[in-house]
Structure 1
Amino acid sequence: MLCAQVEAQNLVVSGATFLDGDTFVYNRASKVRLAGIDTPEIGHDGAPDQYYAEASRKIAAEIAGKATLVLVPVGAGKDRHGRGLCDVRLPDGRSLNEVLVEKGSAYVYYHDDVPQALQARLLAAQRRAMDARAGFWKVVLESFPAGEYVGNRNSHRFFSPGCAEGRRVASRNRVYFSTAEDAFRAGFSPARPCNIWPAVRNVRTGGV
């Protein structure tokens, strides 16, 4: 069942099982993707988890796994993988998407389908989390390589210094950032090619 169908029927869901920090399953089969955010990837096929991936999943599960949730459709109500694309509301009316960003367990992930008002709230939450060095920000902002980052103003993705894919961005669409932090604060997120997010095995901390 898609988010649009849930909202049209004025239904709520419960019993969410989180596959990672931004995707959950309910009724054992229906998948929902939280709109406008992304979280570190859990490794598959022998690949290591990205730093904070399991922590992000656990945080989302602790907040929403046993809650009754309202699924508010975003855009067409589904993503290109057929998952429901939603702004997920908690019992107190807060947006789960926004809560996870403010806790530093998710970051802003721009998409044309996401309304500007939601994008603005998510970006404001991200800036607060970065200022507080909440969640993963305390570690990852220190781990990103130095150098000039290239952003694509159309996709709102940015590429690490020296990434060949970054050089392929059309000059009219390029924007430059002195640091990865500047790119995140502007609402850009790491591009999949040359992704700079550290693997958990490459990060040494006293815990998360």
Structure 2
Amino acid sequence: MKLTRKWQLLPVMMDFCLRRKFNINMKIKKAIVFLILLSVSLISYRAFCEELPEVGKVVWVDDGDTFVLEGGEKVRLLGINCPEKPHKDKPGECFGYEATRFAIKLLKRKKVRLEYDRIKRDRYHRLLAYVFLPSGEMANAIIVRKGFGYVLTVPPNKKYRARLLRAQRLALDENLGMWKHCKPEKEEYYYIGNLRSYIFHRPSCKFGKMTSSKNVITFSTRKQAFYQGFAPCRRCKP
């Protein structure tokens, strides 16, 4: 996030230096541009070459898909999403407590191995990782397989999408966990999916209506959307 902001500021800084504010000679202008480009390049290089932990011990579990490693690094399980438990003034979601308890049992005090995809941190600076237990099993897939979470694909991070989707389909077929206990307040006649974002919406959702026609796919039921690996819109909550 910090890197993106600096890139966005680059043309503004250059314009400020070259045209609007400073009445200076060309050599100084070129030197300023060079220093700006150099600083941004160094920031980019540092972000690209950042050493990320490959193993660590889980010391705290925040909720079903987020935990903390010894040393303080916060990790977000990649490729899945779990129901939220109540937090401060925000109400929880169905099966939020159950997902958190399952993640605690699965992960706490375990030494885990982290595997990354193309984007390695989110906007909150949390590590985005596929997490492997001492047994070699992937925690992300276990949580989905037991019905405590669902597949959430955020391109370009799609390395294990097929594996996670297989786990989700088994949970759906067996009606496990949240698939058994959590039902929508209102069923729609159909749902709108976005082939680019892997998100599905209610027909009335303004974000669904904004989907380009070439990226639209429709589903007759919520289960069908989940079965194809689409996640529900956070706004219209289908």
Equivalent runs, 1:11-26 vs 2, <5 Å: 12-26=55-69
- Deviation readout 1:132-169 (Å, 9 max, x if unpaired): 11111012356551321001110000002422321121
Structure 2 Cα separation of the partners of residues 15 and 173 of structure 1: 39
Post-superposition offset of 1:129: 0.3
The question of 1:136 aligning with 2:183 is answered no
- The worse-fitting range, judged by mean Cα deviation, of 70-79 and 185-194 is 70-79
The question of 1:71 aligning with 2:114 is answered yes
The question of 1:127 aligning with 2:174 is answered no
Equivalent residue number for residue 146 of structure 1: 188
Aligned 8 A contact 2:82 2:148 in 1? yes
Q: Output the amino acid matched with 2:109.
A: K
- Deviation readout 1:52-88 (Å, 9 max, x if unpaired): 1111011011011121111112223222221111110
> Of 33, 40, 49, which residue of structure 1 is paired with 2:83?
40
SS at match of 1:71: strand
Equivalent runs, 1:96-115 vs 2, <5 Å: 96-115=139-158
Equivalent residue number for residue 189 of structure 1: 231
Aligned-residue CA RMSD (Å): 2.0
Percent of residue pairs bearing the same amino acid type: 35
Change in Cα spacing, 1:69 to 1:93, as seen in structure 2 (3 Å) is: same
Query: Structure 2: which 5+ runs fail to align?
Result: 1-49
Equivalent residue number for residue 199 of structure 2: 157
Aligned 8 A contact 2:78 2:129 in 1? yes
Structure 1 Cα separation of the partners of residues 158 and 90 of structure 2: 34
Structure 1 Cα separation of the partners of residues 119 and 213 of structure 2: 31
> Of 87, 95, 112, which residue of structure 1 is paired with 2:130?
87
Structure 2 Cα separation of the partners of residues 136 and 114 of structure 1: 25
Aligned 8 A contact 1:144 1:180 in 2? no
Structure 2 Cα separation of the partners of residues 138 and 28 of structure 1: 38
Structure (1 or 2) with the greater helix fraction: 2
Q: Output the amino acid matched with 2:147.
A: G
Structure 2 Cα separation of the partners of residues 135 and 14 of structure 1: 27
SS at match of 1:77: coil
Aligned 8 A contact 1:4 1:72 in 2? no
Aligned 8 A contact 2:193 2:208 in 1? yes
- The worse-fitting range, judged by mean Cα deviation, of 92-101 and 157-166 is 157-166
Aligned 8 A contact 2:203 2:209 in 1? no
SS at match of 1:61: helix
Q: State the TM-score, normalizing by the size of structure 1.
A: 0.84
Query: Structure 1: which 5+ runs fail to align?
Result: 197-208
Q: Output the amino acid matched with 2:188.
A: A
Post-superposition offset of 1:4: 5.6
Structure with higher Rg: it is 2
Q: Output the amino acid matched with 2:59.
A: A
Equivalent residue number for residue 53 of structure 1: 96
Count of residues in correspondence between the two structures: 190
Aligned 8 A contact 1:4 1:73 in 2? no
Q: State the TM-score, normalizing by the size of structure 2.
A: 0.74
